[in-house]
């Protein structure tokens, strides 16, 4: 009789075990894990873990349904993988496939852009350098009305200078996010000027200097505003070249002499100041402290490459030798999935996180998206069970915890 009960009990155990995953899709993670899937824990125990021997083996089965917020979106221009789109952050598929967050001319007129945040398109003000006005523009929504977008430019808005609500005093302009011009400058005709040297605003706005009738005719010498007074001699600027009077014959009460005879304080004869001559192997260089006599790049331990000092061990534009730049294939490097660097004088090319060079062809760089490719999931060659419909999600073949039950 006892033997009959034992046999019936074993049959019940076998029947209960058949209710869980099939042997073909079940993996005992505690015994022999495959390429690492996500770790699963008992939802009833906050402190449970795969390594906790007291909890027993935890079984994982192949999963085929996309977990939220991932989805399968078909694209005509980009590779499409099962569960390859994160609907929470993808601006071309925000919240659902095909829902692209707008960035059109209407938004640009309102100084707005949009991006996908938690599955919804969110608007935001933009900051950029304007090539037209040649100033940095920092647009912000100060009135809280979406109808007029980001209406305040904190760079030059006198009512919102630097921050919303910071109003400049009456008659004071907002310049680069600050009320008024820097100390010693005047705001004249929309710009900050130096009244000590400005020939059109000498000493005060609008005070333009006239050329004197009895002016001397000396080379590279002109007349204008000097220390806030008009009609004074000064060295001219011609074709963006500042001239200098190093022999001091211009400002004497005479019309003789060679005028402003030096066209640069960057030469070995006049380096930084008049009369400062370089000797030996010194050159007139500017390494951050203004022009001075020094052996080029010697103090920094670098090498001179053209007009600048370069670290040949780490400089990506001068790697190992001057002019040897580490360059990636492709016309638009902003779209590449790899980075170039110079290490110990050698060019090194590395894939950005989430991408890999799985075909071994340097011509197309890191062509494989390891985050979603089912045949290269997390690393080149790591293959998910594509036939069973198992996707690659964030670099891991999707798994789920098996149904509870007794197994053999």
Using the predicted structure, report yes or no on whether residue 23 has a pLDDT greater than 90: no
Which residue in this structure is represented by tokens 């900050």?
192
> For the purposes of burial, counting CB atoms within 10 Å of the CB of 38, is it exposed (0-12), middle (13-18) or buried (19 or more)?
middle
> For the purposes of burial, counting CB atoms within 10 Å of the CB of 360, is it exposed (0-12), middle (13-18) or buried (19 or more)?
exposed
For residues 35 and 374, is the Cβ–Cβ distance under 8 A?
Answer: no
Using the predicted structure, report yes or no on whether residue 15 has a pLDDT greater than 50: no
What average pLDDT does the segment 70-75 reach?
A: 92
H or E segment to which residue 10 belongs? helix 2-17
Q: pLDDT-based confidence at 132, cuts 50/70/90?
A: low
pLDDT tens profile 372-381: 999 999 999 9
| pLDDT on residue 349 | 87
Using the predicted structure, report yes or no on whether residue 370 has a pLDDT greater than 60: yes
| pLDDT on residue 33 | 43
Q: Which residues pair with 94 in a beta bridge?
A: none
> For the purposes of burial, counting CB atoms within 10 Å of the CB of 321, is it exposed (0-12), middle (13-18) or buried (19 or more)?
exposed
Using the predicted structure, report yes or no on whether residue 20 has a pLDDT greater than 80: no
Output the CA–CA distances (angstroms, integers) from residue 151 to 47, 62, 185, in the order listed.
Answer: 52, 53, 29
Q: Which is more confident, 117 or 308?
A: 117
Q: Which is more confident, 339 or 8?
A: 339
**Which range marks the domain in which residue 109 is found?**
85-125
Residue 243 lies in a domain: no
For residues 161 and 177, is the Cβ–Cβ distance under 8 A?
Answer: yes
Using the predicted structure, report yes or no on whether residue 329 has a pLDDT greater than 70: no
Q: pLDDT-based confidence at 55, cuts 50/70/90?
A: low
Residue 93 lies in a domain: yes
Percent of the chain clearing pLDDT 70 (strictly above):
80
Residue 391 lies in a domain: no
Residue 98 lies in a domain: yes
The b-or-e profile of 215-248 (16+ CB within 10 A means b, else e) is eeebebbbbbbbeeebebbbbbeeeeeebbbbee
Secondary-structure percent of the chain, ordered helix, strand, coil, rounded to 5: 10, 25, 65
Which residue in this structure is represented by tokens 């960057």?
266
pTM, rounded to two decimals: 0.55
Residue 97 lies in a domain: yes
Using the predicted structure, report yes or no on whether residue 319 has a pLDDT greater than 50: yes
Per-chain mean pLDDT for the chain: 81
| pLDDT on residue 41 | 33
pLDDT tens profile 175-223: 888 898 888 898 888 788 999 999 999 999 999 999 998 888 899 999 9
Residue 110 lies in a domain: yes
Domain tally for the chain? 1
pLDDT tens profile 298-317: 888 899 898 789 999 999 99
What average pLDDT does the segment 321-333 reach?
A: 76
Using the predicted structure, report yes or no on whether residue 62 has a pLDDT greater than 50: yes
Handedness of CA 86, 92, 93, 95 (dihedral sign): positive
What average pLDDT does the segment 268-296 reach?
A: 91
| pLDDT on residue 375 | 95
Using the predicted structure, report yes or no on whether residue 3 has a pLDDT greater than 70: no
| pLDDT on residue 58 | 63
Window from 13-17, 53-57, 113-117, 212-216 with minimum mean pLDDT: 13-17
For residues 16 and 10, is the Cβ–Cβ distance under 8 A?
Answer: no
Residue 95 lies in a domain: yes
Residue 179 lies in a domain: no
What average pLDDT does the segment 69-84 reach?
A: 88
Using the predicted structure, report yes or no on whether residue 24 has a pLDDT greater than 50: no
| pLDDT on residue 404 | 54
């Amino acid at each position: 009789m006892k033997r009959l009960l034992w046999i019936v009990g074993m049959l019940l155990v076998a029947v209960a075990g058949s209710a869980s995953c099939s042997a073909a899709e079940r993996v005992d993670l505690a015994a022999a894990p495959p390429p690492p899937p996500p770790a699963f824990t008992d939802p009833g125990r906050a402190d449970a873990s795969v390594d906790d021997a007291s909890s027993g083996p935890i079984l994982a089965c192949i999963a085929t349904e996309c977990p939220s917020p991932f989805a399968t979106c078909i694209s005509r221009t980009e590779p499409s993988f099962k569960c390859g789109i994160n609907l929470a952050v993808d601006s071309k598929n925000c919240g659902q496939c095909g829902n692209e967050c707008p960035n059109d001319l209407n938004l640009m007129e309102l100084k707005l852009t949009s991006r996908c945040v938690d599955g919804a398109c969110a608007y935001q003000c933009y900051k950029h350098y304007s090539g037209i006005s040649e100033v940095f523009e920092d647009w912000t929504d100060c009135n809280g009305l979406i109808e007029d977008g980001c209406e305040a430019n904190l760079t030059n808005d006198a009512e919102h200078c630097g921050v919303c609500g910071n109003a400049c005093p009456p008659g004071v302009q907002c310049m680069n996010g600050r009320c008024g011009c820097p100390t010693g400058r005047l705001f004249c005709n929309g710009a900050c000027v130096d009244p000590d040297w400005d020939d059109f605003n000498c000493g005060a706005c609008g005070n333009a200097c006239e050329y004197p009738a009895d002016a001397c005719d000396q080379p590279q010498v002109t007349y204008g505003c000097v220390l806030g007074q008009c009609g004074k001699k000064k060295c001219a600027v011609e074709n963006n070249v500042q001239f200098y009077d190093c022999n001091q014959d211009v400002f004497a009460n005479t019309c003789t002499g060679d005028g402003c005879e030096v066209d640069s304080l960057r030469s070995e004869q006049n380096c930084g100041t008049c009369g400062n001559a370089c000797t030996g192997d010194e050159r007139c260089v500017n390494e951050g402290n203004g022009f001075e006599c020094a052996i080029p790049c010697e103090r920094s331990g670098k090498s001179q490459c053209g007009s600048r000092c370069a670290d040949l061990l780490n400089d990506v534009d001068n790697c190992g030798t001057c002019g040897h730049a580490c360059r990636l294939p492709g016309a638009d490097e902003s779209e590449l999935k790899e980075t170039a660097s110079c290490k110990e004088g050698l060019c090194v090319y590395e894939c950005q996180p989430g991408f890999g060079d799985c075909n071994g062809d340097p011509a197309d760089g890191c062509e494989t998206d390891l985050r979603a490719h089912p045949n290269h999931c997390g690393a080149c060659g790591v293959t998910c069970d594509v036939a069973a419909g198992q996707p690659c999600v964030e670099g891991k073949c999707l798994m789920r915890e098996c149904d509870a039950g007794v197994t053999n």
